[in-house]
Structure 1
Amino acid sequence: MKRHFEILDGLRGTAALLVVVFHLFEAVWPDYTANPLRHGYLAVDFFFLLSGFVVGYAYDDRWPALTVREFFRIRLVRLHPMVLLAVVIGVLGHLFDPFLGPADRVSGLRLSLIAGLGALLLPAPSLPNHYGETHSLNGPCWSLLQEYVANVAYALVGPWLSRRVLLLVVSGSAVALAATAVGHGHLQGGWGWDTFWMAPVRVAFPFFAGLLLFRSEWRLRVPAAYALLSAVLLLVFAAPAFQPAGYYEAFCVLVVFPLVVAAGTGSPVGGAWVALCRFSGRISYPLYLVHYPFIYVFTHWVQARHPPMTQVLPVMVGLTGFFVALAWAALRFYDEPVRAWLNARHRLVAAIRPENA
């Protein structure tokens, strides 16, 4: 039986919660330098790194018995039900947002087009007042598109890459990411049409670096790893603005995050920490995808009403708790049952098919 990396689960949850808080802060402090978690968008790069490690860990030893088609089926069942729910929540959020004016509304046909493309994770025309996003019903879906692209690349070439070739891929993508961070001034991009070119740059290095980390079996051991490494992520995201931020953010993605993952895989965890890490990991994906349509409404409220901080802070705390509860409910009553049904149906079809052959 394969070992389970509980600390990586916990860190995924930590990063998801921090990116939620970053988005709440962003509504109040849209200026990058004022946001208390000003580098919080780097959580996406951390997710990509974890994904590369986990995909290698879960599938490397299953080839060539595992076909590309079956790999795609497994990954779609794992990821896409929550994507569809994210789009539905995005549509409802847009329709019932009480702070949108007539100029921010679109026709039913246009909304249907955006929703249909969003259900396929394809970029779509941005909704008004949604900052030119490629996935404007639910902004974080842009990173899921890149996750899918990375998974396709892994299935087609990843299992057969030698250590040397993989190292060359990681080195080349590291140069591209560093050049992008320094040239652009930061890594806040990839989610909008004007910076869409940054999306593959942001996924390439961390995903393949995570795969290399797994295959190299490089591990570090630190005490109280989950708490310590969660604190490291918090400090990384809350570091000073550093104008320009490119050098700092490139260093975080290229050096700090791989060290965090290496420590997360090489350090022990026990007791109540195991349960916390597992719960945190389970809700991390739905938390990442269900919260953002409500961020739009929260942002529009702040922009329309200009409420004082004595009102804003309690709302932020309440929304954070609501997001966690909603993520758990989405997981428990939608995502897990749907995935179980899809897998059961696949097993039934596979069992019947030889009889009809």
Structure 2
Amino acid sequence: MTRLRSIKYGFTWCSLLLIAVLAFPRIGGAGDLWKNGIYEAVCVILLFPMIVYMGAGGSLAGNFSRRLCKFLGDLSYPLYISHYPLAYIYIGWVSAHPHIPIAQAWPRMVLTFVSAIVLAYGYLKLYDEPVRRWLTGKAARLKAGKKAAPAEVVQ
């Protein structure tokens, strides 16, 4: 089994690589789709595994870095699940106003971004964490050999 090598400033390098990869969502035009296919294949086959490897081998220095990474990790799934409706609303607005200047569009873009973070945080605290606690408790009771008590009916 291959041992992970520690990458100095792994979080920073992984973040910069992700920003660089995701900053180019499409390469080539309508007539040369093969360029975009090659770019996406290189990303999926080479770059993303390299980023995961670097991240897995990295270490965090300092309490702030640990707390930031924990927060971002906890927020990632609720954000992944909930950002699509907001993104589609924003994209629909942009499509309906194709000639609007960026000076008028950026406040709505920032509002969409902040709304997605706030909504995901709400989902994390009000749904994700309570359900995980409940499942952890239920799994612990089952592992201990106790029969899980049926849920009480509230009338």
Question: What TM-score range do you get, normalising by the shorter chain?
Answer: 0.7 to 0.9
- Partner amino acid, structure 2, of 1:261: V
Alignment of 1:80-159 (within 5 A): none
SS in 1 for 2:44: helix
Give the CA deviation at 1:348. Answer: 5.0
1:312 is aligned, of 89, 92, 105, to 105
**Match of residue 83, structure 2, among 265, 281, 291:** 291
Residue number in structure 2 paired with 1:163: none
Give the alignment partner of residue 250 of structure 1, picking from 35, 41, 57: 41
Aligned counterparts of 1:273 and 1:224: Cα–Cα separation in 2: 11
Q: What is the CA-CA distance between 1:275 and the residue it aligns to?
A: 1.1
Classify the secondary structure of the residue corresponding to 1:352: coil
Q: Does 1:344 align with 2:137?
A: yes
State the 1:221 CA deviation.
2.7
- The CA deviation at 1:220 is 3.1
Q: CA RMSD in A?
A: 2.2
Structure-1 separation of matches of 2:3 and 2:37: 27
The residue that corresponds to 1:265 in the other structure is 56
Q: 1:302 aligns with which of 67, 86, 94?
A: 94
Tell me by how many angstroms 1:218 deviates. Answer: 4.2
Match of 1:236 in 2: 21
CA distance in 2, matches of 1:245, 1:326: 33
Instruction: State the TM-score, normalized to the length of structure 2.
Output: 0.76
Question: Tell me, what secondary structure is at the counterpart of 2:147?
Answer: helix
Query: Which of residues 221, 228, 247 is equivalent to 2:6?
Result: 221
Work out the number of aligned pairs and report it: 138
Give the 3 Å change call, closer, same or farther, for CA 239–221 of structure 1 in structure 2.
farther
- Per the alignment, residue 277 of structure 1 pairs with 69
Distance 2:66 2:118 in 1: 20
Structure 1 unpaired stretches of 5+:
1-215
Are positions 1:331 and 2:124 aligned together?
Answer: yes
Unpaired stretches in structure 2, ≥5 consecutive residues:
29-34, 149-155
Structure 1 contact 286–331 (Cα < 8 Å) conserved: yes
- Give deviations 1:156-210, integer Å, cap 9, x for gaps: xxxxxxxxxxxxxxxxxxxxxxxxxxxxxxxxxxxxxxxxxxxxxxxxxxxxxxx
Letter in 2 for 1:277: C
Q: 1:346 to 1:256 in 2, by over 3 A?
A: closer
CA shift for structure 1 position 230? 0.5
- Any conservation in 1 of the 2:78–2:124 contact (CA below 8 Å)? yes
Q: CA deviation at 1:338?
A: 2.1
How far does residue 233 in structure 1 lie from its aligned partner after superposition? 0.9
Secondary structure of the 2:14 match is helix
Give, in whole Å, the separation in 2 of the partners of 1:283 and 1:229: 18
* 1:282 to partner: Cα distance: 0.5
Aligned to 1:52: none
Residue matched to 2:32: none
Q: CA deviation at 1:245?
A: 1.5
Equivalent residues in 2 for 1:152-191, closer than 5 Å: none
Matches within 5 A, 1:35-114: none
Check whether the contact 2:87–2:112 (CA below 8 A) recurs between aligned residues.
no
